[in-house]
Structure 1
């Protein structure tokens, strides 16, 4: 599922954590009151956070501190990625002086899966911006967000009403009208495993969110040349015995399988497939599985099956030593949150946080929502300092150009042989625009407002 995109499958995801805690004052000193802070670089972003004397109350949530809402379903998922990313980034940035002297104060907005609107109304009353988080049922809050003219740089967006909505810049590649998996599935069907094209299956969790992703997946696979020979839903409460699913996959001769759900369920399915001696050409485990937890749960099935995941142009964590920005995230976690794990969601959150920091810094003392938002729209090759393949943020609804594929092995996740042509990425993905109606993002016009109302 890939964030918006990937984590949209409710079970696997529900969107992970969100930042919390208010730290720092308006002073330009190190925490021990010693020498003045020095500007800090992140990846190839020079002086991203820096000291200064900006303290004016130029907007709601702005003063000596900048209060920023970080949405999360942590109360439901118990996953802390967005919280961890917000805390680590804020601590690092604030030690360097903050944003022109203002300290970042991330505020957790725990939507607990079903309380998105309640948290959004609170954010509307208190926060300057929404940064670096997300909620699985984010469509529940988008109307209120637009009504209070609250802009957002989320780590991920899930539902169609929110994905690509106004006053929101998504740092995950791919616009709402286009398939984010065009390059990935085209490579699988036409190059990687062309023998699987005649029999591809899709299993997804039985939820409204996942059903949209299921429809989009089937449309993209068909456009790439695949024939969907098997399609099944599984209940959100889980499956006690995956044997009937595995036997159906085997009886239909499914050669490639897309699994849109939680990786714990996928691990159980793969164990059964392995036990009945059936190996597919490939399984799209989706990027929720990218990490050690899936490998541990799947056990011997990792070697028996061929699990793939599209990271959507995010540099792979296992090769962090080859990429300064990715290594810097690991180093910052080691310093500020040594007991926490760096995940794909953490990296995506950092891409959003770095965008906010750079855009806000450019506004100086006159820090307004409009200034930050418009500054971000000028970024035509945004990579979060090198954390991902560059994307053009000035084009809010554009196809994704770059992708990268990971393969699960008993030794860990590793880049697959997908023939990258631009460093760690392959940047020749075809543009595929959806033809079916999956819903549309909400606009200011939908609620009777316009950009002229935005300050």
Structure 2
């Protein structure tokens, strides 16, 4: 499941239950005159991303010798610190390398605690220059305030339709608001990977209003890919004490492929029951929330008994970091600046957004304005975050995802599935599917009585 939607599902279910040279390296002198190696400002294939300079004019709100940036999160509710960790690690590294033309990055954590999005957005509107590298499950609640105060954002993810593809926002996750981000994944599943499962697809969702849009879009996409939903069920958002009735229904219906729109803790329990009643499906879409060691530990022996898959949406897999310099750099930076924190898919997504901000802001020099940064980012037609993901054209905000990559859960950890990648770690022949159903629309500047002429 694409990150921009999956955290909203998880939260809803849980709720209702120093300087550097031009080449990016160099030396500096300490106060006693001895030379030490400066921190490189290169990230992946992005040269001199962070560097020293003398930019210091008060060119915009939140800009002086520092740059204040809002980082949205639901950490007070979910207890997941990935976006805060990523902001801390990136800013520490970038500042040590000189910052953005000498200005230091100051990330301000905006903890929405799931339900306090508007309160945190009002605070961000008051203090921050930009919103970068975060996300909140109910982010739709803050769009009107963000647009009203003309606050731009480069989020790590967007969740609700009001926010996904909204104005003054550039998303670094593949797939526009009106296109299915899973067209490549589901088409592969039903036509190549497991064609025998096409007529027997099951769909289980947590019973919450937040999941309604995602559930409808999933049904439409499965049908468009040639599949049939033969079993569709909701489970109480507060949780299920016994998954046996669900497992038995899945078996009796002959479900061969299962899509689970919910939290991986619940999925692990369901799979344990499915395995105990000897029903192995051809595949289970465990969604990218499950991507990590926690799900494998929770599911236990069921990992060997079921075929769990997840679409990473064109993000290079963490297990293969040694073969991808940018991914390995994230791992190394965490070892240096946050050794007790895990590197997750959400962390990588956040770094893709942070690198976009850093490059765009650096191009503006001393005259650092919101408009300059935003327009610079829009010129990126093959953005990879330094090599963290497949190329993405940021000049086209509503465009179908072209690349995808699938991983499989095994007792030995996650590994790439046999999905026949054609461009490095990715497969970039995903069909474009534009939704026909009405699932709402992203909010615009016009909705709040503003226009781009107001944006400075």
TM range (shorter): over 0.9
The question of whether the paired residues in 2 share the 8 Å contact of 1:10 and 1:207 is answered with: no
Q: Confirm whether residue 3 of structure 1 aligns to residue 6 of structure 2.
A: no
Q: 1:182 to 1:32 in 2, by over 3 A?
A: farther
Note the C-alpha offset of 1:11.
Answer: 3.9
User: What are structure 1's unaligned runs of at least 5 residues?
Assistant: 16-22
Quick check: 1:329–1:347 contact (8 Å CA) kept in 2?
A: yes
Tell me if structure 2 keeps the 8 A contact 1:10–1:210: no
Does the 8 A contact of 1:14 with 1:135 survive in 2? no
Unaligned runs of 5+ in 2: 20-26
1:55-204 superposed matches below 5 A: 55-204=56-205
Residues 241 and 30 of structure 1: is their aligned pair in 2 closer, same or farther, counting only changes over 3 Å?
Answer: farther
Which whole-Å CA distance do the structure 2 matches of 1:31 and 1:204 have between them? 59
2:410 maps to: 409
Question: In the TM superposition, what is the alpha-carbon distance from 1:31 to its structure 2 partner?
Answer: 12
Distance 1:133 1:12, change over 3 A: same
Deviation at 1:306, TM superposition (A): 0.2
Secondary structure of the 2:440 match is coil
Residues 268-289 of structure 1 show CA distances to partners (whole Å, capped at 9, x for unaligned) of 0000000001000000000000
Is the 2:14–2:237 Cα contact (8 Å) retained in structure 1? no
Aligned to 1:451: 452
Q: Report the counterpart of residue 53 of structure 1 in structure 2.
A: 54
Distance 1:67 1:150 in 2: 12
* Secondary structure of residue in 2 paired with 1:175: coil
Q: Give a deviation string over 1:279-315, Cα, whole Å, max 9, x none.
A: 0000000000000000000000000000000000000
Per-residue deviation, residues 185-216 of structure 1 (Å, max 9, x unmatched): 00000000000001101101111221211110
SS of 2:414 mapped into structure 1: strand
Aligned 8 A contact 1:137 1:158 in 2: yes
**C-alpha displacement of 1:330:** 0.2
Matches within 5 A, 1:260-299: 260-299=261-300
Conservation of the 8 A alpha-carbon contact between 1:14 and 1:136: no
Shift of residue 159, structure 1, vs aligned partner: 0.1
The answer on whether the counterparts of 2:13 and 2:206 sit within 8 Å (CA) in structure 1 is: no
CA contact (8 A) 1:133 1:155 kept: yes
Conserved 8 A contact 1:38-1:51: no
TM-score between the two structures when normalised by the length of structure 1: 0.95
SS in 1 for 2:9: coil
In the aligned structure 2, how far is the partner of 1:182 from the partner of 1:189? 11
CA distance in 2, matches of 1:70, 1:139: 16
Aligned pair in 2 of structure 1 residues 168, 184: CA closer, same or farther (>3 Å)?
Answer: same
**What is the alpha-carbon distance in structure 1 between the residues aligned to residue 5 and residue 447 of structure 2?**
24
Q: Does 1:236 align with 2:233?
A: no
Matches of 2:8 and 2:46, distance apart in 1: 30
In the TM superposition, residue 14 of structure 1 has moved relative to its aligned partner by 8.1
Q: Which range moves more in the overlay, 318-327 or 201-210?
A: 201-210
Maintained 8 Å contact 1:12/1:262: no
Structure 1 pair 30–3 and aligned structure 2 pair: CA distance change class (3 A): farther
Q: Shift of residue 6 of structure 1?
A: 3.2
Q: Secondary structure of the residue that 2:10 maps to in structure 1?
A: coil
State how far apart, in whole Å, the 2-side matches of 1:33 and 1:352 are: 36
- Superposition TM-score, scaled by structure 2 size: 0.95
For the residue of structure 2 that corresponds to 1:48, the secondary structure is coil
Q: Tell me how far 1:242 sits from its aligned partner.
A: 0.4
Partners of 1:444 and 1:215 in 2: CA distance: 27
Asked whether the equivalents of residues 330 and 342 of structure 1 are also in contact (C-alpha less than 8 Å), the reply is: yes
Please say if residues 408 and 414 of structure 2, whose CA atoms lie closer than 8 Å, have aligned partners that are also in contact: yes
Alpha-carbon displacement from aligned partner over 1:373-424 (angstroms, at most 9, x marks no partner):
0000000000000000000000000000000000000000000000000000
Once the two structures are superposed, residues 108-128 of structure 1 have per-residue CA deviations (whole angstroms, 9 ceiling, x without a partner) of: 000000000000000000000
**Matching residue of 2:374:** 373
Partner Cα separation in structure 2 for residue 11 and residue 298 of structure 1: 20
**Aligned mates of 2:361, 2:30 — CA distance in 1:** 26
CA contact (8 A) 1:14 1:73 kept: no
Tell me the residue number matched to 2:214.
213
Question: Does the Cα contact within 8 Å between 2:153 and 2:170 map onto a contact in 1?
Answer: yes
Change (3 A) 1:39 1:298: closer
Cα offset for 1:4?
1.0
**Cα distance in structure 1, aligned partners of 2:429 and 2:12:** 29
Structure 1 pair 112–382 and aligned structure 2 pair: CA distance change class (3 A): same
Cα shift readout 1:137-182 (whole Å, capped 9, x = no counterpart): 0000000000000000000000000000000000001100100000
* 8 Å Cα contact 2:205-2:262 kept in structure 1: yes
